[in-house]
Amino acid sequence: MNDNLSLTPAALHYARATDLAYSAAAESHRYTPVSALLPQIQSKLAYLTPTQERPYNYTYEPPDGGPWENYQHDDRTISICDARHMAAASSLDREGFQLWNAPSEVTDFFDENTLLRYYYPEVAELACTATGATRAYVFDHLLRQRETDRRPLSFGRAAKGALAGANGRVHNDYTEASGRKRLALVIGELAAQSQIARYSIVNVWRSIKVPVLDTPLAVCDARTLNVADLVSAEVRYPRRTGEIYLAHYAPRHRWYYFSAMDPHEALVFKQYDSQVSGVARYTPHAAFDHPDAPAGVTPRVSIEARCLVIYD
């Protein structure tokens, strides 16, 4: 049945005009996503320049005197939105990241025993709360500090006797292969062979001294990511080789950060999810230098803890 048969000539003309208007609007460029209206800054993020070689990074001085890495980075000036002004809170399963009010009782983040005894249980509790998982295993952490000389951001290697620097390369901590491998490494081979329907790996990131004004962490909205953007790369340690994703630039990527992150806050973001559809699986991220950082600001010092969570 043609509903237009019941319209008056004037109403029919309006309906046809409206249809044309909607069709024209679909082709226009005067509409932009709401995220484009959020407060934002411009800064550089270092993507991967396409290469025919499998990329690698050394975390220590290469034993053969060769290069620290075998690829070029593709510096892009990116609009990074302040996620504090999003109309609705982000979600771990949707955008891949979420900010939590999560005060820690730890006062000395440089004491290994304190971290293992007190901070790891805090991270595990937060990870279960944030993801809805029933079990959590914190298996790794890393302290980072922005270099006081403000050298260009790099892969974040640690100079001798110093903390690791801020990592300015767009990356994701786990790949499909290393994410699958991590389950057995954390809970054991026999336990991994049991019926575990779903598990994830999340990163819990926080400042440990003062609000972050100079070198925040940017996270990519997982919905704007395509698996074709990701390239597996080696991370070579003295006694093992890990695998991460680097990323090619794509204009559809949408980037966010949380301004002036305070030590009582924690950014939780997804690094791997064994569920292959319907949820965020990877959240590429990178440090960036804030263009409006006050002169003489205290360099950012942060801790990131990686946690495997199981959904029983």
Question: Is the pLDDT confidence value at 1 over 50?
Answer: no
The confidence score (pLDDT) of residue 158 equals: 85
- Lowest pLDDT segment from 2-16, 238-252, 254-268: 2-16
The confidence score (pLDDT) of residue 160 equals: 79
Question: Is the pLDDT confidence value at 271 over 60?
Answer: yes
> Of all helices (H) and strands (E), which one includes residue 187?
helix 176-187
The confidence score (pLDDT) of residue 43 equals: 98
Distance of CA 257 to the CA centre of its chain: 10
The confidence score (pLDDT) of residue 24 equals: 43
Q: Tokens representing 200?
A: 């994830």
Q: Is 129 helix (H, G, I), strand (E, B) or coil?
A: helix
With pLDDT > 70 as the criterion, what percentage of the chain qualifies? Answer: 88
Please list, residue by residue across 22-44, b when 16 or more beta carbons sit within 10 angstroms of its beta carbon and e when fewer do. eeeeeeeeeeeeebeebebbebb
With pLDDT > 90 as the criterion, what percentage of the chain qualifies? Answer: 84
> Quick one: DSSP state of residue 35?
G
pTM: 0.87
The amino acid that residue 238 corresponds to is P
Look at residues 138, 141, 173 and name the one whose alpha carbon lies nearest to residue 246: 173
Sole residue written with tokens 């575990």: 196
25-63 pLDDT, tens digit each = 444 455 555 555 789 999 999 999 999 999 999 999 999
Instruction: Work out the average pLDDT over 208-231.
Output: 97
| Beta-sheet strands, E only, within the chain | 40-48, 56-58, 73-82, 97-101, 135-145, 171-172, 199-207, 217-220, 230-236, 241-247, 255-257, 265-273, 285-287, 301-310
Using an 8 Å Cβ cutoff, are 258 and 265 in contact? yes
> Residues 6 or more apart from 182 whose CB is under 8 A from it?
139, 174, 201, 272, 308
The confidence score (pLDDT) of residue 159 equals: 81
What mean pLDDT is reported for the chain? 91
φ and ψ at residue 226, rounded to 5 degrees: -115, 140
The confidence score (pLDDT) of residue 36 equals: 52
Using an 8 Å Cβ cutoff, are 144 and 166 in contact? yes
139-195 pLDDT, tens digit each = 999 999 999 999 999 999 988 788 999 999 999 999 999 999 999 999 999 999 998
> Residues 6 or more apart from 56 whose CB is under 8 A from it?
69, 70, 233, 234, 235, 236
The confidence score (pLDDT) of residue 180 equals: 97
CA atoms within 13 A on the CB side of 163: 19
